[in-house]
Amino acid sequence: MTTHFITAEIDLQATPTELNKEIEAELQKRGEPLRWAVTSVDDEKQKVTVEAIVTQDSE
């Protein structure tokens, strides 16, 4: 098992609940999230930047 630091850009959603679901879905594509945080919001582009630590099984 390895850990990775990743940064992802996610489209801003209408509600915090929808945003949370979208972030978790995107992180699941890259591994199992250990923790994550929204580090910036770009209102003009309607994007949030998320930094996360994910684990992946060694192959």
Read off the tokens for 50.
Answer: 């998320």
Which pLDDT does position 58 carry in this prediction?
A: 77
pTM of the model: 0.86
Q: What is the mean pLDDT of the chain?
A: 94
Average pLDDT of span 11-19? 93
SS3 sequence, 23-36?
A: HHHHHHCCCEEEEE
Using alpha carbons, select from 4, 3, 5, 11 the residue that is nearest to residue 49: 11
Q: Please check the confidence at residue 57 and state whether its pLDDT lies above 90.
A: no
pLDDT 10s digits, 42-54: 999 999 999 999 9
Closest by alpha carbon to 2, among 38, 56, 39? 56
The C-alpha angle with vertex 29 and arms to 36 and 22, in degrees rounded to 5, equals 60
**59 pLDDT more than 90:** no
Say how far apart CA 6 and CA 36 lie, in whole Å: 9
> What's the pLDDT score for residue 16?
92
